[in-house]
Amino acid sequence: MNSAFASWKIYLAILFGLSITGYLLFNSLNQTHFIQTTQQGTHCWKDVNHNNKIDYSDSQEFYSCKNGTFKQEELNDIITEISWTSSSIFWLFLAILCMVGRDFAYMLRIRILTKKQLTWKKAFNVILLWEFASALSPGVVGGATVAMFILNKEKINLGRSTAIVMITALLDNLFFILLIPFVFFFISSDLLFPNATWVDKSISLVFWGGFGIIALVCVLLFISVFLYPKAIGQLLYKLCRLPFLNKFQDKMLSLQHDLQLTSTEMKQENKRFWLGSFGATILSWTSRYLVINCVLAAFLPISFFNHIFILGKQLVLWIFMLISPTPGASGIAEFAFGELMGEFSSSILLIVALAVIWRLISYFPYLLIGSILLPKWLQKKA
C-alpha cells in the first residue's frame, strides 16, 4: 500500500491537476467572449441557433452595430473588473473557514465512529491523509481503500476499519439523497434542467443516472453492514480462492470475523451515536458546498434564492466529479463548474477565474499538506 503514496505518483498528480487547470484557463482566455453592457456597446445579438439563450462565447450570434448593448471582452477587461474589496476578502476568508469546518466535521465523525479510539491528533492525520488519497485518486475510485489502510495503521482492526469506511460512504450518500428533495422544494426541476439544448438534456440524464446509482449503493452498503455482513465476508473469502488472491485468505478470515463483530456492535448503538455521526456528516457536506457559494459571492451579487440555486447546481457538479476518471476530478471539476455556474455572470473569463480560485481553496491544499504529512506519518507507522 505504501507504493500508492510513491513520490512520483504524488508529483505526477499535482502536475496533472495544474496542467489541466492551466490548459482550461489558457483555452478560455484565447476564445472570443462577449458581455452585456449598460454603456454604448459595439455589437448586437441575434439568436442564430434559436435556443432563446444568449451564447456569450459564440461569435456567430453577435454582429457589429451602432449603439449596441454588447461588447467584446478581453483579458485586460476582466482583470480590471475584478475588484478586491473588503467584501471579497471577507467571502474568500469565509470560504477557507468552510474548508476548515468540513475537515473538523470529518474529524468529529471519525472519532464518533471509532468511539474516540482516535485522539484529535490521530483523527487529524487520518482525515488529511484520507483527503490526500482522494485527491490523488480518480473520482470514480475515491480513497476508500487507502482509508482502510490508514485506519488499520492507527491500530483499528481491518474488519472495523472496513465497516467504518462503509458507514461513512453510507452517511455521505444518504445526505446526498435527502438533500435533493430539499433543493427541489425551492427550485423546480425545469429550472435546474431546462432541456433547452442537448447539453442540458445530457446533464439531466447524467444527474438522474448518478442519483439512481448512489441510491443503489446506499442500499447495498446498508445491507452489507447491518443485515448480511456474514454473507459479504464469505463472498470476499471466496474471491480470495482465486490463484492471484489466495495469499490473502488468512487475512480475509480475520476480516470476516471482525466485520461481523463490528456489525453487531453498530446495530446496538444508541440514537445519540447515529445522530452525532449524521450531524457531523451534514456539517461536513454543508461546509463543502458553501465554499463555492462564498467564492461566487466574493465577486458577484448573489441573492438568497441564488444561493439555494447554486446549492442545487452543486448536486449536479458533485455527480460529475464522482464519475471523473482523472485524479481529484481535475479538468472535469473546472469544466463542469464553468458549464453550471456560467449563468451567474455574462463574463466567462470571470467564471473560469472563479473556478481556479475554488480549486485553489478546496483541492490543491490537500496535495500540499498530504505530501508534507505523509512521509512523517509513514515513518512513525513503519
| Domain ranges, ordered by start, for the chain | 2-26+84-381, 35-79
**3-state secondary structure at position 231:** helix
Residue 286: predicted pLDDT: 92
Read off the amino acid at residue 129: L
Least confident interval from 73-77, 189-193, 201-205, 214-218:
73-77
Residue 290: predicted pLDDT: 92
Can you tell me the distance from the alpha carbon of 266 to that of 65, in angstroms, rounded to the nearest whole number?
70
Residue 295: predicted pLDDT: 92
Phi, psi of 39 (to 5 degrees): -90, -175
Higher pLDDT, 286 or 238: 286
Least confident interval from 49-58, 74-83, 132-141:
74-83
Render pLDDT for 129-183 as a digit per residue (tens, 0 to 9).
888 888 877 765 667 777 888 888 888 877 788 888 888 988 998 998 888 888 7
Q: Is the pTM of this model over 0.75?
A: yes
pLDDT at 337 > cutoff 70: yes
In terms of Cβ atoms closer than 10 Å to its own Cβ (0-12, 13-18, 19+), residue 77 is: middle
CB 369 within 8 A of CB 344: no
Nearest to 381 by CA among 149, 146, 165: 149
Cell 462564498 -> residue = 294
Q: Which residues pair with 63 in a beta bridge?
A: 44
pLDDT band at 275 (very low <50, low <70, confident <90, very high): very high
In terms of Cβ atoms closer than 10 Å to its own Cβ (0-12, 13-18, 19+), residue 246 is: exposed
CB 356 within 8 A of CB 334: yes
CB 277 within 8 A of CB 109: yes
What angle do helix axes 158-186 and 144-153 make, rounded to 10 degrees?
130
pLDDT band at 379 (very low <50, low <70, confident <90, very high): confident
Q: Residue range 65-93: average pLDDT?
A: 76
What angle do helix axes 158-186 and 86-113 make, rounded to 10 degrees?
140
8-state DSSP, 114: T
